[in-house]
């Protein structure tokens, strides 16, 4: 057994693995309670329809089916609608109208899983189809059917949001020598964690207590939401316990509240029995929140020598039928205003309009911090287009326009203060590692022979770690996060956090932070998350906020403990506090290092021999309110070869240089980057959810929605530079999503780079063989 404290920067093997590799994890569907009932859901085959009647007689006649719940039933309790996090509301079950295909229509409650499914099949619903709008641009046209008849404002337009100095940007464009404009569509995609969503609700009528085991990335926020939504039914927050068990991947898809959760709670309250709801994959892919779906028109202005001057962006955001995204409340378009990226623009202006369509709710992150991928993809595509139009090398173009290292902290024209960065260093490192100059030579030779090879760069800047309380809240809840550390008399530790790992390895990395600060071995530290009855209040894990916010809280709580430990050590060593020095794991008297007390000895004394005037015990809690966000960055270079017969894109090499500040566990960081890159590859080449004109979903199962397998996924090559965050107590920035943000543009840029000489300036992702083959054929390259 290792009994050493490793701390920051060590590739400590993960503690959580022990249960997972033995098949002993506890995911939601592994939990079984005595007397538990099963809930299954009837869903709409239509994208827009009036419900004329719901016939449940045949279903309830099935032995084991206990009830069929409809919107009208819920309406009696004021539960047919629930508020979203974006000041909109969403149907739990419809009273008379469905707004997208696969929307929940009724719930069946049964004694067994299979019987509940039988009940769903036996419910008969009569619909009257209504006109469908799937294109948000058409939804804004006069005469378009108004989808949300429940709203006072009779329009499909939800909100308009803008940022920047429009007049300054317009002037810059009037004066610019070089102007480039491009329409870019970033399609709807789905996070598809391999575990779907589900819950078990257990209402105990005698105590009036609700326990909700739930696939959630934000257990505390959920508890508060449940109390606010169902307070009128007697659910009070001190009697609500939300437990997030082991979670099989989240990536943003497990932040929202879906109707199934609410139905399970309602059914448990109704029956007094525990109720389990587990969605299947098709339900997950057809009805749970989606990401992206941004129709962007972007414009760049530059001088003749390639110096960028201004950016203008106009976007239509398809939010589906309900605005049920999970952005911080002041940011309906998330952090899209990071769209000036790594470049030093003099002026910029961005505007976004949110629109309703007959699709499930959109706007949920797909492993990224609130629309950062949309922003980063757009600016990195645009940078490449300008460079190519000017005949400049895309690397040289970027090096010329990067915010210089000495400009940090850097004030962006759209209002952010970038904490630190050295973009040149990251790009140069990536170029060196991949052999950029040689590749360009090879490409020139291949081009002469008619072979298609492309090199794509993406030098992204992220914005994560939401966020400072002056700007960031969700439903009014400030976006701090928390840690509580308890040191037991024998020096062993239990630490609890307000976040919730979904695979990121918090049990290991948080233990490393505490080990780093207190010198207690990781093996002696247990990290717990996800139980609202025990963990301190926090806003949860998404948007790469765990390390920047909760990780910082862990360090701050540990430092509070160290302050108290110093007092106890002074008492034990009969020395003055100021005469003591800290060396990891012990205090000693300056100048006589053998007069020392270890943290374990101090912990024991905290309970057995604490000084007069000081409270016993050795515990601390910290609620960390970050002074700023963190701005991880990196430069990725991708090399592709394109089959000019089939249009297939093959990634030959992909080098990722990331800078996430100081690293807690390099093994875990690399793993996060590998995973993020694969979730960047996915939308670049494979994944897309489309709808036909009637609103039928295409791509609503793993048969049609192509998650990359091990065969398509390249052997990622990673490297790093280290530019610590100046304001984070550990200098860390967060890394879980950088690669998802940075990778798509590198791949798309590589493909366009291979085709530019044929007159191809842009292709929307996913860049399928079909799309490439079509342009090759149009240009006579292939038959």
Partner 1 sequence: MSEVASRISVAVNGTAHHAEVEPRLLLVHFLREVLSLTGTHIGCDTTNCGACTVLMDGRPVKSCTIFAVQADGREVMTVEGLARDGQLHPIQEGFHEQHGLQCGFCTPGMMMTGYALLQRTPNPSEAEIRWAISGNLCRCTGYVNIVEAIKHAAEKMRSAPAPAGGRS
Distances (CA, A) of 731 to 190, 408, 507, 511, 602: 33, 15, 20, 17, 28
Considering the complex, state which of residue 99 and residue 191 has its C-beta at the smaller distance from partner 1: 191
Nearest approach, Cβ of 542 to partner 1 (angstroms)?
A: 14
Nearest approach, Cβ of 707 to ligand FES (angstroms)?
A: 10
Considering the complex, state which of residue 40 and residue 753 has its C-beta at the smaller distance from ligand FES: 40
344: tokens are: 């030093």
Q: Which does 701 bind (CB under 5 to 8 A by kind): partner 1, ligand FES, none?
A: partner 1
Q: Which does 529 bind (CB under 5 to 8 A by kind): ligand FES, partner 1, none?
A: none
Q: Which does 20 bind (CB under 5 to 8 A by kind): ligand FES, partner 1, none?
A: partner 1
Considering the complex, state which of residue 38 and residue 497 has its C-beta at the smaller distance from partner 1: 38
CB 309 within 8 A of CB 89: no
In the list 253, 503, 530, 634, the residue contacting ligand FES (rule: CB under 6 A) is 503
Nearest approach, Cβ of 583 to ligand FES (angstroms)?
A: 38
CB 14 within 8 A of CB 508: yes
Distances (CA, A) of 175 to 168, 171, 206, 310: 11, 6, 73, 10
Per CB under 6 A, does 409 bind ligand FES? no
The SS3 assignment for 346 reads coil
Q: Which does 599 bind (CB under 5 to 8 A by kind): ligand FES, partner 1, none?
A: none
Q: H or E stretch including 178?
A: strand 178-189
Nearest approach, Cβ of 33 to partner 1 (angstroms)?
A: 13
Q: Which does 22 bind (CB under 5 to 8 A by kind): partner 1, ligand FES, none?
A: partner 1
Q: Which residue is nearest to ligand FES (CB)?
A: 194
Considering the complex, state which of residue 609 and residue 701 has its C-beta at the smaller distance from ligand FES: 701
Q: Which residues bind partner 1 (CB under 8 A)?
A: 13-14, 16-27, 29-30, 32, 62, 113-115, 118, 191-196, 246-249, 251, 280-282, 502-505, 667-668, 670-679, 701-703, 707, 709-711, 713, 715-716
Nearest approach, Cβ of 174 to ligand FES (angstroms)?
A: 51
Nearest approach, Cβ of 334 to ligand FES (angstroms)?
A: 25
Q: Which does 534 bind (CB under 5 to 8 A by kind): ligand FES, partner 1, none?
A: none
> Is residue 522 flagged as an active site residue?
no
Residues in 85-114 at the binding interface with ligand FES, rule: CB under 6 A: none
Q: Which does 480 bind (CB under 5 to 8 A by kind): partner 1, ligand FES, none?
A: none
Considering the complex, state which of residue 491 and residue 675 has its C-beta at the smaller distance from partner 1: 675
Residues in 181-200 at the binding interface with ligand FES, rule: CB under 6 A: 194
Nearest approach, Cβ of 702 to partner 1 (angstroms)?
A: 4
> Is residue 737 flagged as an active site residue?
yes
CB 357 within 8 A of CB 135: yes
Considering the complex, state which of residue 240 and residue 664 has its C-beta at the smaller distance from partner 1: 664
Nearest approach, Cβ of 20 to ligand FES (angstroms)?
A: 8
Considering the complex, state which of residue 191 and residue 267 has its C-beta at the smaller distance from partner 1: 191
Nearest approach, Cβ of 119 to partner 1 (angstroms)?
A: 10
CB 263 within 8 A of CB 41: yes
Catalytic position from the list 197, 368, 638, 660:
368
Measured in degrees and rounded to the nearest 5, phi and psi for residue 566 equal: -65, -40
CB 727 within 8 A of CB 626: yes
d(CA 757, CA 778): 14
Catalytic position from the list 90, 101, 103, 217:
217
- 385-392 long-range contacts (CB < 8 A, ≥24 apart) are 385/180, 385/182, 385/300, 385/761, 385/762, 386/178, 386/180, 386/300, 386/302, 386/306, 386/308, 387/306, 388/752, 388/753, 388/756, 388/761, 389/178, 389/180, 390/178, 390/302, 390/304, 390/306, 392/306
d(CA 690, CA 672): 29
Nearest approach, Cβ of 505 to ligand FES (angstroms)?
A: 11
Considering the complex, state which of residue 249 and residue 666 has its C-beta at the smaller distance from ligand FES: 249
Considering the complex, state which of residue 97 and residue 508 has its C-beta at the smaller distance from partner 1: 508
CB 453 within 8 A of CB 641: yes
Q: Helix axis angle, 666-681 relative to 738-755, nearest 10°?
A: 50
CB 617 within 8 A of CB 38: no
DSSP one-letter string for 692-756:
-TT--EES-STTTS----TTTS---EEEE-----SSSTT-B---TTHHHHHHHHHHHHHHHHHHG
Q: Which does 668 bind (CB under 5 to 8 A by kind): partner 1, ligand FES, none?
A: partner 1
Considering the complex, state which of residue 21 and residue 177 has its C-beta at the smaller distance from partner 1: 21
Q: Which does 576 bind (CB under 5 to 8 A by kind): partner 1, ligand FES, none?
A: none
Distances (CA, A) of 332 to 86, 159, 221, 462, 589: 7, 8, 19, 18, 55
Considering the complex, state which of residue 503 and residue 521 has its C-beta at the smaller distance from ligand FES: 503
660: tokens are: 């996430």
Binding track over 530-569 against ligand FES, x by CB under 6 A: ----------------------------------------
Nearest approach, Cβ of 502 to ligand FES (angstroms)?
A: 8
173: tokens are: 């464009």
d(CA 52, CA 49): 9
The SS3 assignment for 771 reads helix
Residues in 233-252 at the binding interface with ligand FES, rule: CB under 6 A: 249
Q: Which does 142 bind (CB under 5 to 8 A by kind): partner 1, ligand FES, none?
A: none
Q: Which does 27 bind (CB under 5 to 8 A by kind): ligand FES, partner 1, none?
A: partner 1
In 308-451, beta strands by DSSP E: 308-318, 347-355, 410-411, 417-418
Place of tokens 């606010």: 228
> Is residue 197 flagged as an active site residue?
no
Catalytic position from the list 223, 367, 381, 562:
367
Beta bridge partners of 477: 474
Residues in binding contact with ligand FES, number by CB under 6 A: 3
Q: H or E stretch including 188?
A: strand 178-189
Residues with catalytic function: 217, 367-368, 737
Task: Please give the residue ranges that form the binding site for ligand FES (CB under 6 A).
Answer: 194, 249, 503
């Amino acid at each position: 057994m290792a009994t050493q404290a490793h701390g920051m920067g060590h590739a400590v093997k993960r503690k959580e693995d022990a249960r997972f590799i033995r098949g002993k994890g506890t995911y939601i569907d592994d939990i079984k309670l005595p007397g538990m009932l099963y809930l299954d859901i009837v869903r709409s085959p239509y994208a827009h329809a009036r419900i004329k009647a719901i016939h449940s007689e045949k279903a309830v006649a099935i032995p084991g089916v206990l009830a069929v719940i409809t919107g009208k039933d819920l309406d009696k309790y004021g539960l047919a609608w629930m508020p979203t996090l974006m000041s909109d509301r969403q149907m739990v079950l419809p009273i008379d109208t469905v707004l997208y295909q696969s929307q929940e229509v009724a719930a069946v409650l049964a004694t067994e899983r299979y019987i509940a499914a039988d009940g769903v099949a036996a419910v008969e619903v009569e619909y009257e189809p209504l006109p469908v709008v799937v294109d948000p641009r058409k939804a804004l046209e006069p005469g378009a059917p108004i989808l949300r008849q429940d709203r006072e404002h009779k329009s499909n337009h939800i909100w308009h949001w803008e940022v920047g100095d429009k007049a300054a940007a317009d002037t810059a464009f009037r004066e610019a020598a070089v102007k480039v404009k491009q329409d870019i569509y970033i399609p709807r995609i789905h996070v598809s964690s391999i575990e779907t969503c589900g819950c078990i609700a257990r209402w105990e009528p005698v105590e009036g207590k609700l326990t909700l085991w739930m696939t959630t990335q934000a257990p505390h926020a959920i508890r508060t939401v449940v109390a606010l939504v169902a307070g009128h039914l007697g659910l009070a927050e001190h009697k609500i316990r939300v437990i997030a068990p082991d979670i099989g991947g989240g990536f943003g898809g497990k932040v929202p509240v879906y109707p199934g959760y609410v139905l399970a709670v309602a059914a448990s309250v109704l029956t007094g029995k525990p109720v389990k709801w587990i969605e299947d994959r098709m339900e997950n892919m057809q009805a749970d929140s989606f990401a992206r779906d941004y129709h962007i028109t972007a414009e760049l202005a530059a001088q003749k020598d390639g110096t960028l001057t201004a950016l203008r962006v106009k976007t239509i955001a398809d939010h589906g039928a309900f605005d049920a995204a999970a952005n911080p409340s002041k940011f309906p378009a998330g952090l899209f205003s990071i769209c000036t990226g790594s470049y030093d623009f003099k002026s910029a202006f961005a505007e976004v309009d949110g629109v309703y369509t007959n699709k499930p709710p959109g706007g949920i992150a797909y492993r990224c911090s609130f629309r950062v991928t949309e922003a980063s993809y757009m600016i990195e595509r645009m940078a490449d287009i300008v460079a190519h139009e000017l005949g400049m090398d895309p690397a040289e173009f970027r090096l010329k326009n990067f915010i210089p290292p000495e400009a940090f902290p850097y004030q962006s024209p759209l209002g952010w203060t970038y904490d630190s960065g050295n973009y040149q260093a990251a790009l140069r490192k990536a170029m060196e590692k991949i052999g950029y100059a040689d590749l360009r030579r090879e490409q020139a030779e291949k081009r002469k022979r008619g072979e298609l090879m492309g090199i794509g760069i993406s030098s992204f800047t992220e914005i994560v770690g939401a966020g400072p309380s002056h700007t960031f809240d969700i439903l009014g809840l400030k976006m701090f996060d928390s840690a509580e550390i308890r040191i037991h008399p024998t020096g062993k530790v239990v630490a609890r956090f307000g976040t919730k790992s979904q695979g990121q390895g918090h049990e290991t990395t948080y233990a490393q932070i505490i080990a780093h600060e207190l010198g207690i071995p990781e093996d002696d530290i247990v990290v717990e998350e996800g139980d609202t009855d025990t963990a301190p209040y926090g806003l949860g894990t998404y948007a790469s906020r765990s390390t920047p916010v909760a990780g910082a809280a862990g360090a701050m709580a540990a430092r509070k403990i160290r302050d108290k430990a110093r007092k106890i050590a002074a008492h034990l060593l009969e020395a003055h506090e100021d005469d003591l020095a800290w060396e990891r794991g012990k205090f000693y008297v300056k100048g006589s290092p053998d007069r020392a007390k270890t943290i374990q000895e101090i912990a024991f004394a905290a309970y057995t021999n604490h000084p007069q005037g000081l409270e016993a015990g050795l515990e601390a809690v910290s609620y960390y309110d970050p002074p700023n966000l963190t701005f991880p960055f990196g430069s990725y270079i991708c090399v592709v070869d394109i089959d000019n017969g089939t249009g297939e894109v093959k990634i030959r090499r992909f080098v990722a240089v990331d800078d996430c500040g100081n690293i807690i566990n390099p093994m875990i960081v690399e793993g996060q980057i590998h995973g993020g890159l694969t979730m960047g590859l996915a939308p670049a080449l494979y994944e897309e959810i489309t709808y036909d004109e009637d609103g039928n979903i295409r791509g609503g199962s793993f048969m049609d929605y192509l998650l990359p397998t091990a065969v398509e996924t390249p052997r990622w090559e990673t490297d790093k530079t280290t530019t610590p965050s100046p304001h984070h107590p550990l200098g860390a920035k967060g890394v879980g999503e950088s690669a998802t943000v940075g990778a798509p543009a590198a791949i798309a840029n590589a493909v366009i780079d291979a085709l530019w000489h044929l007159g191809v300036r842009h292709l929307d992702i996913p860049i399928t063989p079909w799309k490439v083959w079509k342009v090759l054929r149009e240009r006579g390259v292939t038959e």
